């Protein structure tokens, strides 16, 4: 019984994996909004009904992929809090580079999702995840906040949207700069020491 | 002849106006991507063919609306260059408030376009317009740039995407803050004087 259960679990996992890969590959060639479940099933080598055994819509698949990405972003941003407090403005905390590296693992896919023909839902969710993570740990990011009051929600929306804007630029730019260089640029923009 | 021509011009202008209004109103109730030309024509009280006499697609209509908005943004940002150079960090230049006011004129419509169910193309075009305007007049914005080098393209993408992120937050937030208050918050985030 346990044996049968695990074989079936494995089959489910593989089908879901094929469906996710199909979405990824189709996204490279057409706007996400125009991809049909029929096309996904065909590309994944399964029936349309099989798709609906596992997901209610293509948005649910994207949501699942997003969920994992968001967990990873949360892990990256929380792993480096101590850096944020200890380092001096001249040093760049690795968090910023790592954020670019996460998306750098699949540039063609993310370029599409964040681009003009991508998914607004996807972009909004990533901005929101960064914003929420920032707000939960606001004290660690205090050196990025202005001296005068700005509501936390607004400050973290500003910083998160700015990062995602730079990320979209990078994904479109054919690797002109490394993730590390982008981390440096992000840091300089975030911390902005100006001539006084 | 001149009389007949101007009557016909007026008719064209009115039809286009009705088509644009139809798109605006339909956008309030459904994602932009799901609006059909059939529905637009019906809502505008004209034939589908009449739509195609004036536009090739719904995207062309959005593009036309965007073009006017972009011209207005460019006018707002260039009208206030002198402020940017003269004012001290304690004063807030009216440019920032005016940018929120432009979008504040039709909050329900822009809330949809910038929201998760909105149009990525629309958001990307506004970010791009701000970015291009910034780059063309980079010397005027130099007090927003970091002391150390960041390529202009990246710096202005950062600043533009950050503004649009704050704008989307504001449009969703049911007028909790006025355009003027948002201008102040934007200014504080942009100029960020931190305790040294």
**Please, where are the H alpha helices in chain B?**
2-27, 37-44, 48-54, 58-79, 81-86, 94-104, 107-114, 120-136, 152-172, 179-191
Higher pLDDT, B1 or A5: A5
Which chain B residue's Cα is nearest to A118?
B120
CB–CB contact A150 B125 (8 Å): no
- Cα–Cα distance between B94 and B80 in angstroms, integer? 8
- Cα–Cα distance between B28 and A108 in angstroms, integer? 33
In a mutational test of the B interface, the residue from A157, A166, A186 whose CB has the highest number of chain B CBs within 10 Å is A157
- Cα–Cα distance between A89 and A60 in angstroms, integer? 41
- Cα–Cα distance between B16 and A75 in angstroms, integer? 51
A151: Cβ–Cβ under 8 A, 6 or more apart, which residues?
B185
- Whether residues A73 and A3 share a domain: the answer is no
- Whether residues A129 and A190 share a domain: the answer is yes
Which pLDDT score, from 0 to 100, does residue A2 have?
Answer: 55
Higher pLDDT, A32 or A89: A32
CB–CB contact B124 A143 (8 Å): no
CB–CB contact A115 B125 (8 Å): no
Which pLDDT score, from 0 to 100, does residue A98 have?
Answer: 87
B7: Cβ–Cβ under 8 A, 6 or more apart, which residues?
none
- Whether residues A51 and A64 share a domain: the answer is no
CATH classification at residue A172: 1.10.357
* Residue where a domain stops, chosen among B9, B24, B55: B55
- Whether residues A94 and A131 share a domain: the answer is yes
Least CB–CB distance from B116: residue in A115, A121, A165: A121
Residues of B in contact with A188 (CB under 8 A): 146, 148-150
CATH classification at residue B5: 1.10.10.60
CB–CB contact B118 A119 (8 Å): no
CB–CB contact B189 A116 (8 Å): no
Q: A143-184 pLDDT, tens per residue?
A: 777 777 899 999 999 999 999 999 999 999 977 899 999 998
In angstroms, the separation between the Cα of residue A54 and the nearest Cα of chain B is 24
Contact A126, A69 (CB under 8 A): yes
- Cα–Cα distance between B15 and B45 in angstroms, integer? 9
Contact B96, B178 (CB under 8 A): no
- Whether residues A120 and A165 share a domain: the answer is yes
- Whether residues A29 and A72 share a domain: the answer is no
Which pLDDT score, from 0 to 100, does residue B170 have?
Answer: 95
- Whether residues B178 and B117 share a domain: the answer is yes
* Residue where a domain stops, chosen among A27, A55, A83: A55
- Whether residues A176 and A84 share a domain: the answer is yes
* Residue where a domain stops, chosen among A12, A35, A55: A55
- Whether residues B89 and B176 share a domain: the answer is yes
In angstroms, the separation between the Cα of residue A3 and the nearest Cα of chain B is 43
Least CB–CB distance from A120: residue in B123, B149, B158: B123
- Whether residues B10 and B98 share a domain: the answer is no
How many domains does one find in chain B?
2
Residues of A in contact with B150 (CB under 8 A): 185, 188-189
- Total beta-carbon pairs less than 8 A apart between chain A and chain B: 129
Question: Over 90: is that where the pLDDT of A138 sits?
Answer: no
3-class secondary structure, A77: helix
Which pLDDT score, from 0 to 100, does residue A196 have?
Answer: 39
pLDDT in tens, chain B (196 residues): 556 667 788 999 999 999 999 999 999 998 888 899 999 999 999 999 999 999 999 989 988 988 888 888 888 877 766 666 565 555 677 788 888 999 999 999 999 888 877 778 888 888 988 898 888 888 777 777 777 789 999 999 999 999 999 999 999 997 789 999 999 899 888 876 544 3
B75-98: buried (b, 16+ CB within 10 Å) or exposed (e) per residue? Answer: ebbeebeeebeebeeeebbbbbbb
CB–CB contact B169 A146 (8 Å): no
Contact B118, B108 (CB under 8 A): no
- Whether residues B2 and B91 share a domain: the answer is no
- Whether residues B9 and B64 share a domain: the answer is no
* Range of the structural domain that residue B111 is part of: 58-196
- Would you call B170 exposed, middle or buried from its count of C-beta atoms within 10 A (0-12, 13-18, 19+)? buried
pLDDT class of A69 with cuts at 50, 70, 90 = confident
Residues found in chain B: 196
Q: A76-134 pLDDT, tens per residue?
A: 877 766 666 565 555 677 788 888 999 999 999 999 888 877 778 888 888 988 898 88
Which pLDDT score, from 0 to 100, does residue B147 have?
Answer: 72
């Amino acid at each position: 019984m346990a044996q049968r259960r695990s074989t079936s679990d494995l089959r489910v996992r593989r089908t879901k994996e094929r469906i996710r890969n199909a979405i990824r590959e189709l996204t490279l060639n057409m706007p996400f909004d125009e991809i049909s479940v029929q096309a996904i099933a065909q590309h994944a080598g399964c029936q349309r009904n099989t798709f609906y055994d596992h997901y209610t819509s293509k948005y649910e698949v994207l949501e699942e992929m997003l969920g994992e990405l968001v967990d990873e972003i949360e892990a990256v941003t929380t792993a480096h809090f101590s850096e944020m407090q200890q380092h001096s403005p001249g040093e760049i905390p690795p968090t910023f580079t790592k954020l670019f590296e996460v998306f750098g693992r699949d540039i063609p896919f993310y370029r599409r999702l964040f681009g003009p023909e991508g998914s607004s839902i996807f972009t909004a969710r990533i901005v929101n995840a960064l914003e929420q993570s920032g707000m939960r740990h606001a004290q660690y990011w205090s050196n990025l906040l202005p001296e005068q009051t700005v509501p936390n929600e607004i400050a973290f929306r500003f910083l998160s949207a700015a990062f995602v804007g730079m990320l979209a630029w990078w994904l479109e730019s054919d690797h002109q700069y490394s993730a590390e260089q982008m981390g440096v640029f992000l840091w300089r923009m975030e911390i902005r020491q100006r001539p006084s």
